[in-house]
Amino acid sequence: MTKTNETRIDRRFAALKAEGRAALVTFVTAGDPDLETSKAILAGLPGAGADVIELGMPFSDPMADGPAIQASSLRALKAGHKMRDTLAMVREFRKTDNDTPIVLMGYYNPIYVYPNAAFLDEAAEAGVDGLIVVDTPPEVDGELCLPAIERGINFIRLVTPTTDDKRLKTVLKNTSGFLYYVSITGITGAASANPDHVEAEVARLKRATTLPVAVGFGVRTPEQARAMAKGADGVVVGSALVRTIEDTLTQDGVATGNTVGSVLSLVGRLSAALREA
């Protein structure tokens, strides 16, 4: 693995390990349903209990996102959200929070057209700590992964139930920050995995790496989060949060007075479940 200097992600997982609990990793899409509401949600996540924040980079043609997250991206894009707005959100967040890790998650196309070097420079300057770019395989690490690491940004990769031990070695080579275990075969927000099977898979991964392992895809409720945390270092919840946003909108897709509070309330219940696990 290519070494990076200690990052906010490293420090956060080390602190939570000392506490003896798993991280709550929350995903929301930048700019959903509009910039101001999205900024209010982002600002409120740490206080509600989010330990690590994944901020989705809206994209019109995803490959791993289920209907809920696809809809959130489309709402953001319809509202005029651009990549520079996502980076500006991080920059503004850092004015009041210099501790909570932020990971940008999405697809390569919007980064490629930014283009790469400018995106990475601005992401590092804004305070981005990690990237998850699901359609950049390890075979092309020289294009985005290694330049990100050179700028002190962790490059986090996903592994799935179909990732065998041989492929795992390749995936781990330049992965840093944490390893994201996709608990099901399929898209985000689909069926939930068997917690016993996930625990066994996490144990297999931990025999191959010292990186923290976070489990995601299909985790919707505090009870599921608690169950998935067994043996894992973190639990990722995304579709449930963006679906909560959707449920509070008017028929025209406009945020209401309940939008921010409903999302943060769910984050609080998820966080409480992990603290009780």
For residues 36 and 190, give the distance between their C-alpha atoms in angstroms, rounded to a whole number.
29
Name the residue with tokens 């500006």: 88
For residues 270 and 277, give the distance between their C-alpha atoms in angstroms, rounded to a whole number.
11
Q: Cβ of 93: how many Cβ atoms within 10 Å? A: 21
Among candidate residues 127, 144, 152, the one with its CA nearest the CA of residue 5: 152
- Run of H or E residues at 78: helix 67-78
For residues 192 and 37, give the distance between their C-alpha atoms in angstroms, rounded to a whole number.
29
Among candidate residues 80, 104, 72, the one with its CA nearest the CA of residue 91: 104
CA-CA distances (angstroms) from residue 166 to 13, 148, 170, 179? 27, 25, 7, 16
Which residues have a catalytic role annotated?
A: 54, 65
Exposed e or buried b for every residue in 204-225, given b needs 16+ CB within 10 A?
A: ebbeebebbbbbbbbbbebebb
For residues 30 and 19, give the distance between their C-alpha atoms in angstroms, rounded to a whole number.
30
Beta strands in 90-209 (DSSP E): 102-106, 130-133, 154-155, 157-159, 179-182
